[in-house]
Amino acid sequence: MANERQDLIILLQSADAIERDVERLLRQIHACPVPDPPLATRISGWLEETIRHRDRISHCIGRIDGDENNPQVQMQNLPVSAETGIEESQESLDANLAKLRREANREVAFYTSVVAAAEVGGFFETKLVCEAILSQKTSMANWLSYRVRK
């Protein structure tokens, strides 16, 4: 059980790193003008969701590690407001959305393995948290797969 516990902590730390990468990409997209208001709304929502995911993962690590008051993951939650004055082309936006689609698909595969590891280790609260994240990531990946064709 100690190895399963440590393996799960490592997976959750990796999940946090992946979420940080996605958060950076979403911030980059969010900071640029998005000509499609429904897409801009989705990007903003996904960014907020990703920040919440990092918080939930942090709490899971703290709970498993036995220190819920001092999670290992340092949260760096910056304001979600868009920067003004940044201009990017539609090509750049399309490329970033294609990258986001690839990242979302990678997250779906990764969280599937985290859910399995949490179940095997008997960490059912972590399993439920990761299943909820997986559901949201699957929804994002499906929407992007439909929307982004690169």
Share of the chain above pLDDT 70, in %: 83
Query: How far, in Å, CA of 7 to CA of 113, rounded?
Result: 11
Task: Return the exposure string of 45-81: e unless at least 16 CB atoms fall within 10 Å of the residue's CB, then b.
Answer: ebbebbbebbbbbbbbbbebeeeeeebebeeeeeeee
Distances (CA, A) of 122 to 4, 109, 128: 9, 20, 11
Identify the structural domains of the chain with CATH numbers, from first to last.
2-147 (1.20.1260.10)
HSE on the CB side for 30, CA within 13 Å?
19
Of the two residues 35 and 11, the one the predictor is more confident about is 11
Average pLDDT estimate for 122-138: 97
Digit-coded pLDDT (tens) for 37-94:
999 999 999 999 999 999 999 999 999 988 655 444 444 444 444 444 344 677 888 8
How much is the pLDDT for 35? 87
Residue 90's pLDDT is: 79
Who's near 46: CB < 8 A, 6+ residues apart? 26, 140
pLDDT of residue 88: 63
Tell me how far apart the alpha carbons of residues 80 and 52 are, in angstroms, rounded to a whole number. 12
Does residue 25 carry a pLDDT above 90? yes
Mean pLDDT of the chain: 87
| Average pLDDT of the segment spanning 4-12 | 95
Amino acid 68: pLDDT:
59
Q: 150 falls in which pLDDT band (50, 70, 90)?
A: low
